[in-house]
Structure 1
Amino acid sequence: MRPYKDKAELIEEIRKRLLLYDEEFNDIKEEEKDLLMSGVDKTPSQNISYQLGWTRLLLQWESDENKGIEVKTPTPEYKWNNLKGLYQSFYDQYGSHSLQQQRELLRNQVNEIIEWIESLDDDTLFIPGQRKWTTTPARWPVWKWIHINTAAPFKNFRAQLRKWKKEKGTA
């Protein structure tokens, strides 16, 4: 995981990765959003639902802590050893939306994350232990949580979408 020199660099990377990721959906038809292709573990809708779920959780953790609510990561209903159930909840929550609606929701949530990043001081963003919800055994600073729930999966899941399109014969 690459470090960032400042919040501007983190924001720039998130924007860049989101733009590239989002562009992969341009040539996926609405009626194809739920097609599962051999060798690809998610449909396009599941792919973006996953992103929606994690970005929403990230925002929720911060919001809850700011309200004085004890945050249980990943959620009170799901533990780290039951991520399949959590992912299914993402698919259930967002899968009924059109692909265009999912894309718009994701762009909006990422804009919220960017606004949140801009509101943080450097210590809060880059020094571990600044938020209770980040004090897992890994003791990551906030920026790493943001990175693994935005820029990193946007890059990795973009590759999955490309593989999906190749399998479908549209790449």
Structure 2
Amino acid sequence: MGVPQTKSELLLAIDKNHNKLSGYLASIPPESASDESMEGHAKGSVMSVCNLVAYLLGWNKLVIKWITLDAAGKPVDFPETGYKWNQLGLLAQKFYRDYSDLDLCSLRSQLQDAKNEIVESIKKRSDDDLYGKAWYGKWTMGRMISFNTSSPYANACGRLRKWAKENNLKL
């Protein structure tokens, strides 16, 4: 599937990639979920499956924050207050800390809830709202949502497949 260009394509990409991710996560043994043995988001770092899901949850929560602020007519501080785009490794570390007290089951549940909230928000908008005008720099709202939901879900699936193969786990 290519980059979503319409509301329906965006919803399909989010659901397809999230469903695949959910299936993979459901097959991770709970005792392996906290092992920091997966290639991390910052070069040379390692993370756990829980960290990976915390990262996705953090970005989904940011998308919700951006949409909520925008809907209220308030300025959006992309990517996050106190962080610049060249500090995404630091932001990843923040997400790991923010959700460090949650187990994989809780992380999966919260990610599902955040994804559902984003989907409901998308459903309330038209194709023109999502793809008709720039929202951040040259990027449309739909593209910014895709950058931070369906694309990272797909990336996470690849990371999980590689990690599972290295650890002799079947997804």
Which residue is equivalent to 2:136? 135
Q: Secondary structure at the match of 1:25?
A: helix
Distance across 1 between alignment mates of 2:145 and 2:101: 26
Runs of 4+ in 1 over 4 A off after TM superposition: none
Corresponding residue for residue 96 of structure 1:
101
CA distance in 2, matches of 1:43, 1:135: 32
Quick one: structure 1 residues 163 and 4, their matched pair in 2 at CA, closer, same or farther if it must change by over 3 Å?
Answer: closer
Residues 68-99 of structure 1 deviation map (CA, whole Å, 9 limit, x = unaligned): 33211111111112111111110011121110
Which residue does the alignment assign to 2:34?
34
Cα separation, 2, equivalents of 1:140 and 1:108: 25
Alignment of 1:80-119 (within 5 A): 80-119=85-124
Question: How many equivalent pairs are there?
Answer: 164
Identity of aligned residues (%): 30
Kept after mapping to 2: 8 A contact 1:37/1:167:
no
- CA distance in 2 between partners of 1:37 and 1:75 (Å): 27
Cα distance in 2 between the residues matched to 1:140 and 1:2: 16
Map of 2:43 onto structure 1:
none
Cα offset, 1:5, TM superposition:
5.2
**Runs (5+) with no aligned partner, structure 1:** none
More strand, by proportion = 2
1:151 counterpart residue number: 150
Contact residue 5 and residue 131 of structure 2 kept, 8 A: no
Q: Is the 8 A contact 2:4 2:143 kept in 1?
A: no
TM-score where L is the length of structure 2: 0.88
Q: TM-score, normalised by structure 1?
A: 0.88
2:25 counterpart SS class: coil
Deviation (angstroms), 1:4: 3.4
Q: Per-residue CA shift, 1:78-125, capped at 9, x if unaligned?
A: 111211111111001112111011111111111111111110112111
Match of 1:161 in 2: 160
Contact 1:47 1:157 in 2 (8 A): yes
The aligned amino acid for 2:104 is: L
Please point out which of 40, 47, 53 is paired with 2:52.
47
**What residue ranges of structure 2 are gaps of 5+ in the alignment?**
41-46
Hey, what does 1:7 align to over in structure 2? 7
Q: Distance in 2 between matches of 1:5 and 1:164?
A: 31
Deviations 1:128-149 (A, max 9, x none): 22xxxx322xx11111111111
Measure, in 2, the Cα distance between the counterparts of 1:35 and 1:3.
33
Question: What is the CA–CA distance in structure 1 between the aligned matches of 2:98 and 2:36, rounded to whole Å?
Answer: 18
**Aligned-residue offset at 1:35:** 0.9
Secondary structure of the equivalent of 1:24? Answer: helix
